[in-house]
Amino acid sequence: MLSIKHHLVAYGQSTIIQDLNLDVKKNEIVAVVGRNGMGKTTLMKSLVGMTPTKGGEVSLDGTDLTRLKSFQRVRAGLGFVPQGRMIFPTLTVRENIETGLAAVGEKKVPEDLYEMFPVLKEMQNRRGGNLSGGQQQQLAIARALATRPKVLLLDEPTEGIQPNIIKEIAQTLRRIRDERGLSILVSEQVLSFVMDAADRILVIEKGAIVHEENRAEADQEKIASYLAV
């Protein structure tokens, strides 16, 4: 579904991601884990076009994204939930979701989104900035889903969120995948979340994938050793 070949990202002289290759299959949840500063966020941002890419190819369902701008990538089917959620603070919850709808030319928030996140329906007229962290995370996911993505990218969705809600988010991701048949690429540091949510786990270190395992036969201790400082 999403295919990344020889991906290269650099800020000035310092190369952050070098020759990274990654494929996300249809209906698959792939987690990229790694310590701080290993290139997770850079990878995510460069995939959605917020950070310029120096080289390589990114294609989505056969469409070449490499030369597209951010908003064009989103319209081509890439949904993005950024680190820190980045909802629009002074827009209401409903308006936040509607900004995503504009990409596919719809006007009304589809009922199924509210069904998935009932709390958002309850709070639809509140300003996004006044929601709690967990609610904002749901809003960010709903906003990304409103763009009807084929692949959903999430950058550290558990950051700053309490443990019992982390479990909920993992379940939500699996539910989204099952109900909507899309693929998910998520970057993460919390191992328990990854073990709950992902089908396949990749370890990123210094901008390259150094280890790969299916969750079914994943060796938690080995992955944990990559995450340890």
Which residue from 5, 121, 127, 174 is in contact with another protein, where contact means CB under 8 A?
A: 127
**Out of 99, 124, 189, 220, the residue judged to bind another protein by CB under 8 A:** 99
90 lines the binding site for another protein (CB under 8 A): yes
Q: Identify the residue among 19, 57, 61, 95 touching another protein (CB under 8 A).
A: 95
Size of the site for another protein (CB under 8 A): 30
Q: Which single residue is written with the structure tokens 């960010």?
A: 140
**100 contacts another protein (rule: CB under 8 A):** yes
Binding mask 106-125 for another protein (x = CB under 8 A): -x------------------
Query: Which of 61, 98, 159, 205: binder of another protein (CB under 8 A)?
Result: 98
Q: For the CB of residue 144, give the shortest distance to another protein in the complex, in Å.
A: 7
Give the span between the Cα atoms of 49 and 69, in whole angstroms: 6
Please identify which residue in 24, 74, 151, 154 interacts with another protein, judged by CB under 8 A: 74
> 12-15: which pairs have CB atoms within 8 A and are 24 or more residues apart?
15/207
Residues 138-167 that bind another protein (CB under 8 A): 143-144, 146-147
CA distances for 15 relative to 9, 24, 40, 127, 215, angstroms: 6, 24, 13, 39, 30
Asked if residues 202 and 31 have their Cβ atoms less than 8 Å apart, the reply is yes
Angstrom distance (rounded) from CA 81 to CA 69:
17
Q: Kindly calculate the radius of gyration of the chain based on its CA atoms and give it in whole angstroms.
A: 17
Q: Is 172 a residue that touches another protein (CB under 8 A)?
A: no
Written as six digits, the tokens of 140 are 């960010």
User: Is the Cβ–Cβ distance between 150 and 60 less than 8 Å?
Assistant: yes
Give residues in contact with another protein (CB under 8 A). 48-50, 69-71, 74-75, 80, 82, 86, 88-91, 95, 98-100, 102-104, 107, 127, 129-130, 143-144, 146-147
